[in-house]
Structure formats: structure tokens, C-alpha cells
Amino acid sequence: MNASFKLSEIKDVVIKGIKKHIDERGWLAELYREDEIDGSIFPQMAYVSLTMPDVKRGPHEHVFQTDYFCFLGPSDFKIILWDNRKDSPTYLNKMVLFLGENRPAALIVPPGVVHAYKNAGGKNGLVINAANKLYAGKMKKEQVDEIRHENDAGTVFAFD
């Protein structure tokens, strides 16, 4: 693929601000609510990952899965998204976001949108994902729904 991406919004990618309710005990934040998201992306599983400073994850994409990432801190992340859906009106668009401690948000990434992130905040960072598909299917007996680009030295999905 010899693609040239344009920096612009991507159809179906949603950024939802997350409000931290802070008091003397700490804080609480609602990550998702059934009355605020489409039923087709209701989580089937959730996980949390810790990413060390300056470490990248991705780029990869899913054929069927929608990711529902939550970037809350305690670090900030640079996120890059590329619309790789040939039938999308925003095909070949690229988005660059900074989410996390200074801008807590949920990020909905639909299938076919390549995504990668890097911990750019200088401290260990947590990312929560509440995906709408089970990793490796029921009882982990199915093929993993990922197209990995990070090991391809010639990929057009370069994290800059």
C-alpha cells in the first residue's frame, strides 16, 4: 500500500471527555454508560494495561472489534489513528490526539481504523480498554482479530 494520509477527523471515531469527580478521598470517573453509547459497542470484556514512559503500542487494527479506550492518567498519551477503511468518506485521514491525565477521555476506535499510542507523559500510564469483542473469541479458541503493522519496517502507519 502506497498511501498518503491527510491530517483530519475520522468518521466514527468518538472522543468522549471523562469528568473526574474529586473530593478529599480521591476521585471517581464514569468510564461508560449504557445510555451514552450505541449498543453495538457494549463491552464484552475489559482490560487494563500499564505502559512505561516513551513506550509505543501498535500500530494495529481490527476487522470486527471496536475498542473503547479510556485514557485517565497518571500519564499522558500521544495517539495516532489512520482511517484504513476503503469505503469510508474519511479514508486516508489521520488523527493525532493527546489524551490522559491532562485531558481524560474515552476514545472509540471502530474496525478498520489503525491505531497506536505512546506514553508521552514521563511516568507510568494506565490505559483501560472495554472492547466489544472477546480477545480470541469464546474460551480463547478463535483467531485473534488483529492486523499488526508494528513489525513491518515499510509500513505506511509510521508513528512519528
Q: What is the CATH number of the domain that holds 80?
A: 2.60.120.10
Number of domains in the chain: 1
For 101-112, the pLDDT digits (tens) are 999 999 999 999
CA 118 to CA 127: how far, in whole Å?
11
Higher pLDDT, 160 or 71: 71
Domain contains 20: yes
Q: How confident is the model at residue 92 (pLDDT cuts 50, 70, 90)?
A: very high
Domain contains 142: no
What is the b/e burial string over 12-29, where b = at least 16 CB atoms within 10 angstroms of the residue's CB?
A: ebbebebeeeeeeeeeee
Phi and psi dihedrals of 82, rounded to 5?
-125, 130
Write the single-letter amino acid at 127: V
Do the beta carbons of residue 5 and residue 93 sit within 8 Å? yes
Domain contains 80: yes
- Domain membership of residue 122 as a residue range: 6-134
Do the beta carbons of residue 93 and residue 134 sit within 8 Å? no
Domain contains 1: no
Domain contains 108: yes
Q: Beta-strand (E) ranges in 67-130? A: 67-73, 76-83, 93-100, 105-109, 113-119, 125-129
pLDDT for the residue 47:
97
**The C-alpha cell that represents 69 in the structure block:** 479506550
Domain contains 71: yes
Q: Beta-strand (E) ranges in 8-66? A: 14-17, 20-23, 26-29, 47-51, 56-61
For 30-77, the pLDDT digits (tens) are 999 999 999 999 999 999 999 999 999 999 999 999 999 999 999 999
